[in-house]
Amino acid sequence: MSSRLAKGGRLIDRGAMRDFTFNGKRMKGMEGDTLASALLANDQVMMGRSFKYHRPRGVVASGAEEPNALMGIGTDGHFEPNQRATTQELFEGLTAESQNHWPSLEFDVGAVNAKLSRFFPAGFYYKTFLWPRSFWEKVYEPIVRQAAGLGRAPKDRDADTYEHLYTFADVLVIGGGVAGLTAALEAGRAGAKVLVLEQTAHWGGRAPVDGGEIGGVSAEEHIAALVTELEGLPNVTLRLRCMGAGVYDHGYILGYERLTDHIADKSGPRHRLWRIRAAQVITATGAIERPLSFAGNDLPGVMLASAVRDYVVNFGVAPGDRVAVVTNNDDAYRTAFAMKEAGLDVAVILDAREAGGGALAIAAREAGIRVEPGRAVAKVLGGKRVTGVEICAQAGSGSTIETIPCDVVAMSGGWSPVVHLWSHCGGKLYWDTEHAMFRPDPEKAPTSHDGRAFVRCAGTANGEMLLSQVLKDAAAQGHAAALAAGFEGTPSGLPEVSEVAEIPLAPVWIMPAGASYDKRSKAWLDFQNDVKVSDIQLAAQEGYESVEHAKRYTTLGMATDQGKLSNINGLAILSDSLNEAIPQVGTTTFRPPYTPISMGAIAGQGRGETFQPLRRTPLHAWHEAHGVQWEPVGHWRRPYAFPQAGESTHEAVNREITTVREKVGLLDASTLGKIVVKGPDAGRFLDMLYTNMMSTLKPGRCRYGLMCNENGFLIDDGVVARIDENTFLCHTTTGGADTIHAHMEEWLQTEWWDMQVHVFNVTEQYGQIGVVGPLARQLLELLGTAEISKDELPFLGWADRLVGGIPCRLYRISFSGELSYELRVPAGQTLALWEALMEAGKALGVAPYGTEALHVLRAEKGFIMIGDETDGTVTPQDLNLHWAVSKKKEDFLGKRGQLRSHLSSPDRWKLVGLETLDGMVLEDGAYILDAGQNDRGQRNMQGRITSSYYSPTLGRGIAMALLKHGPDRMGETVQVTKLGAEPVAAKVVDPVFYDKDGEKQDV
C-alpha cells in the first residue's frame, strides 16, 4: 500500500494537517503536500480512468508532465476540470474529483471499452464512421462526444478574477532549478535586470532530491545560498508558481502565475499573465524522465523512477512498500537508494543493459539490493494496482523467467531535456546518440529582430546530465546572456562538485526487445490518450510515415499533456517501424503554452464590465435615468427610443416622430464625428476628400458632403462647416469618426505630405444636441438665445450663440426636414444644456427622441444613411446624388473609380422609394424579384430594400430600395420577397415622401 512515512519529507510540514476531500471522501494531508502526494499518503493510488478505454490509472509523475492524475478541482464558480494532481498544492478544504468514469472511479461501465480494445485500433474513428455520411453529424459524433472527453465543463460562471502584467527584463530565466539560479546569478552579478520564473512553489528543482555536493555543502544548502544572494540583488526579481508558458517573436514571453490555486482564500486574482519583453531568455527547464514501454506499464503503481523518489524524499510518502526498479540507465538506481533509506523494500533492479550499470550499480549491490542486468519486465501483474512483475530477458521475446511480487514499479527510460520553450520560436534540435535524446542546437537558436539568438538553454535543458556540467553550462549561459544584453560581467569561479560518475544508457524503446503483439498492445506510450506501441506500428504499416501524420492518426501526444512523456518514445517506435534513424523521422512541433493555461488568464480584465470599452456620451446617465432603450452603435450606446410608462417601443417611436413633426424634439447627436481641418491647404484637401466642392464654401456656411474611397464607393457623409479662411469642421457619421480621421491622416502623411493641413479629431470635446421641430426656434428663444431668426441665422448657416448662458455653436442643418438647430456644446456643459432645454421645453411639449425616430424622419425625407443605403458597393450616383459629385473638379478620391464601366453602367440598381399597395411595412433587406432564373437555378433579382419603416406621419409603410433602372420606373408595380410568404406588391415612387420642396426646414 502507499502511505505516509514516519519521517522525512523535505517539503511538508508535519505539524500542519490539512483536510481535503476526494470524490466526496474526507482525507488528511499536510501543508506542503501536492494533491497527488496527499492521495498517495491516503493509499489512493488509483486517481482516474483513461480517456478511451477507461482503464484504471494512477499517478505516473510528480510534476507538470503528469498525464493521468487529472482532477476536477474546486466547487461551483471555482471549479475547474483537468487539473494535474501533481502540480496542485494541497490546502485546507480542497475538493477534488477524479474524471472519466461512471458511476464511480472504482466501478466504471466504460471500462468495457478496454475489453473491446481490439476493435478500437489506431484510426478507429476515421475507419468506422465513414458511412453513411449523413450519420456523422447526427448519430456518430454525439455518441463519440458523449463517451469521450476528459473532465466535465464548469456549469457556473467563473467566480475568479484574473489580470495581466507587462514587464521588461534584460535577461529572463525560465526555471528556478540549480541551473536557472546559477545562470541568473551570473547575469545578475553582471548588472543585468534579471527575472527568474519557477513554475513550482520551491527553488532548486531536482538537485536536492538527486543529491551531490556543491562547494562542500549539500545541493539543498547551495541552492538556499544562491537564492539568498539573488534576493539581495536589487536588479533581480524572483517569482515562484510562475511558469514560462510560451516564447514568441522579438523576445516576447508569457509567464503564467498561479496566485490562489494553492490557498483556500480565493479573494484575490487567481492567475496573472506576465507579458514580458526580454532582451535575452535562458530556458533552464530541466528534463523529463521517459517511461519504458512494457506490457501493463499503465497500471496504477507503475511510476517514473524519479517520481517515486520525489514522493519519498520531498513528501515523506511511500508510493508502495516494495518497489521493482526497471531502467536502462544509472540514474534510476537513486530511486532504489531512496526507498531503501526510507526503510522500504527494493525487490529488484532490472537493468535492461546487458552489462548492467556503473558505480551506482556497484553501490546497489553493496547495499544488498538485488540487481539483474539484461533483464526486463515481461508483464506487470495486477488490476487496479500493481501486485507484481514477471521478469524476462530484455533480449528475447519475453518468456517469463520469474515472478516478483511488488506494489510499485519505478521505471526509467532515460531523460529528455525540456526543449519546448527553445522550440516555440524556432530553435532547432539535434539528436545526441550517446544519451538518446534531442538537444537544443546552439547553431540554430531562435533569433530576434536583429537576426541574433535571443534564447539559450542552460543545464539539463541543454542536455547536460551531470551536476558539474550543469553548473558549468548554466554559468556560461548566464554570462553569455548578460553579455548579449549589453552587460559585461566577470565570470564567477565554479564551485567544487562532488558527484557519482554515470555510464551511458542503452536506448530501450520496447521491452523486451522482441515483444509479441500481445505485449505491444498492452504497452502504453500515451497514457492520457490511450495510444499503445501497437497503434504506432499500425499507423506506420498503413503508410503514416510522417511523424505529424502518425501523431494525428493515432492521437499520440494530442492530449492535455501534449505528449510530454510519450512523444520521444512514440517517434522512436515509429522510426523503428519505418527502419529509419530517429533524427530522420524528427519530432512533432512544440507549441505554446508549455502546459495548459486558463482562459481566464488569457482574458485578464477583458471580462464582465470591462469585457469591452463602452463609450458613453455626456448624456448617457441622463438617458439611463429616463427609461432609455439602448441601441449599440459601435462601442457607443445610443438611445433607440424613450418609451414612457405603458408604451411599447413602437408606440414610443411613433410619438417621438410626431413630436418632432409637430412640436420640438431633442436628439443626442454627440457621437457624430467632429474633425477640424486647419491650414492654408484645408480647402484643397477637402476638395480631394469630398466628391463635391468644399473650397468654395463661405465662412459661416455649411454644406452636405460625400466621401468615397479610391474605388468610387461611398464611405461617409456629413455636413461640413467653414469656420474661417483656413478652418473647416467636418461632421462624420458616428462610426466614421475614427476611421475618417485616420483616412485623412493617412492621405496627409503618405500621399499629400506637401499639403499644409492639420486635422484634429475633437469628437469628444463636444456634445451635440439636435433641437428639431417647428417649435425649435421658440425653445431656443425661451432660453434667451439671440439672433437666430431666418435672416440672422439662415438654413445651412452656423453661428456661435449663448443658449441658456452656455456657449454653443448652432448649425442650421436638418436631417429630419424640420426646422432644426444642432447645438455644439463643450462636453462638460452638455448635460446642463440638455436639462435646460428639457425644462424650458416642457410648455412646448418637448421630448427626447432616439435613433429609430431619427431614421424614420430621415427616410420620410428620402435622406440616405451610410450603412443602410450603402454597403461598400454603392456609389453616390446609385443614390441619385449626382448633384453632390462635382463635374468641375479635376480630381477627387473616387473620381476615376466611378468612371469605370461597371460603376458607370446604366444598368446599376438605383435608389427609389417603394409604397406597398396596402400600406404594410416591407421587410428590411428583402429582394425585388425579377423574371426567370440565373444559371444556378436561383430566382433573378432586380433590387433590394435598403430601409423600411412605418411612417406615422403618412400613416403607412415606406421603404427605400435600390432597383435596376429605378428612377425610370416611377409608378411601376414590383414584387418584393417576404419570408415564408408570397411576394408583396409595391409601387415604385419618389424616395422623398415628405415635404419634397424642403420648405419646412428653411423657415
- Helical (H) or strand (E) element with 950: strand 939-951
682 vs 885, which CB is nearer to other proteins? 682
Range in contact with other proteins (rule: CB under 8 A) among 131-139, 198-206, 327-335, 605-613: 605-613
Beta strand 345-351 with 322-327: parallel, antiparallel or unpaired?
A: parallel
Candidate list 507, 627, 826, 983; residue touching other proteins; CB under 8 A: 826
Question: Rounded to whole angstroms, what are the CA distances from 510 to 518, 820, 978?
Answer: 13, 87, 69
266 vs 444, which CB is nearer to other proteins? 266
Please name the amino acid found at residue 101. H
* In the complex, minimum distance from the CB of residue 676 to other proteins, in angstroms, rounded to a whole number: 6
635 vs 996, which CB is nearer to other proteins? 635
* In the complex, minimum distance from the CB of residue 131 to other proteins, in angstroms, rounded to a whole number: 48
257 vs 473, which CB is nearer to other proteins? 257
Asked if 615 is part of the footprint of other proteins (rule: CB under 8 A), the reply reads yes
Residues in 803-822 that interact with other proteins by CB under 8 A: 804-807
Candidate list 104, 541, 589, 605; residue touching other proteins; CB under 8 A: 605
Candidate list 483, 831, 838, 921; residue touching other proteins; CB under 8 A: 831
193 vs 309, which CB is nearer to other proteins? 193
* In the complex, minimum distance from the CB of residue 487 to other proteins, in angstroms, rounded to a whole number: 14
* In the complex, minimum distance from the CB of residue 719 to other proteins, in angstroms, rounded to a whole number: 19
272 vs 663, which CB is nearer to other proteins? 272
Site size with other proteins, rule: CB under 8 A: 54
Long-range contacts of 362-366 (CB under 8 A, 24+ apart): 363/333, 363/337, 363/500, 364/333, 364/336, 364/337
- C-alpha torsion angle, residues 690, 692, 693, 694 (rounded to 10): -50
Q: Is the CB of residue 657 less than 8 Å from the CB of residue 856?
A: yes
DSSP string, 419-473: -HHHHHTT--EEEETTTTEEEE-GGG--B-TTSSB-EEE-GGGGT--SHHHHHHH
Residues in 713-732 that interact with other proteins by CB under 8 A: 726
- C-alpha torsion angle, residues 872, 878, 883, 888 (rounded to 10): 70
Q: Can you tell me whether residue 975 is helix, strand or coil? A: strand
Query: What ranges make up the beta strands (E) of 540-634?
Result: 629-633
17 vs 614, which CB is nearer to other proteins? 614
| Contact partners, residue 938, CB within 8 Å, separation at least 6 | none
| Contact partners, residue 745, CB within 8 Å, separation at least 6 | 759
164 vs 370, which CB is nearer to other proteins? 164
Site string for other proteins, 213-242 (x = CB under 8 A): ------------------------x-----
Asked if 609 is part of the footprint of other proteins (rule: CB under 8 A), the reply reads yes
113 vs 763, which CB is nearer to other proteins? 763
Residues in 263-292 that interact with other proteins by CB under 8 A: 267-269, 272, 275, 277
* In the complex, minimum distance from the CB of residue 625 to other proteins, in angstroms, rounded to a whole number: 14
Q: Is the CB of residue 378 less than 8 Å from the CB of residue 519?
A: yes
* In the complex, minimum distance from the CB of residue 190 to other proteins, in angstroms, rounded to a whole number: 16
Residues in 741-760 that interact with other proteins by CB under 8 A: 756, 758, 760
* In the complex, minimum distance from the CB of residue 689 to other proteins, in angstroms, rounded to a whole number: 18
239 vs 365, which CB is nearer to other proteins? 239
Please name the amino acid found at residue 843. A
Query: What ranges make up the beta strands (E) of 209-270?
Result: 213-214, 217-218, 236-239, 242-248, 252-258
Range in contact with other proteins (rule: CB under 8 A) among 281-289, 598-606, 651-659, 923-931: 598-606
DSSP string, 13-67: EEEEEEEEEETTEEEEEEET-BHHHHHHHTT--EEEE-TTT--EEE---SSTT-S
514 vs 680, which CB is nearer to other proteins? 680
121 vs 679, which CB is nearer to other proteins? 679
DSSP string, 150-193: SSPPP-SPP---EEEEEEEEEEEEE--BHHHHHHHHHHHHTT--
Asked if 766 is part of the footprint of other proteins (rule: CB under 8 A), the reply reads yes
- Helical (H) or strand (E) element with 230: helix 219-232
Residues in 156-195 that interact with other proteins by CB under 8 A: 161, 163-168, 193
Shortest CA distance to 756 belongs to which of 682, 867, 839? 682
Candidate list 231, 518, 800, 839; residue touching other proteins; CB under 8 A: 800
- Helical (H) or strand (E) element with 12: none
User: Is residue 730 exposed (0-12), middle (13-18) or buried (19+ Cβ within 10 Å)?
Assistant: buried
Candidate list 618, 712, 862, 957; residue touching other proteins; CB under 8 A: 618
Q: Where do contacts with other proteins occur on this chain (CB under 8 A)?
A: 161, 163-168, 193, 237, 267-269, 272, 275, 277, 604-606, 609-610, 612-618, 635-636, 676, 678-680, 726, 756, 758, 760, 762-766, 800, 802, 804-807, 826-829, 831-832
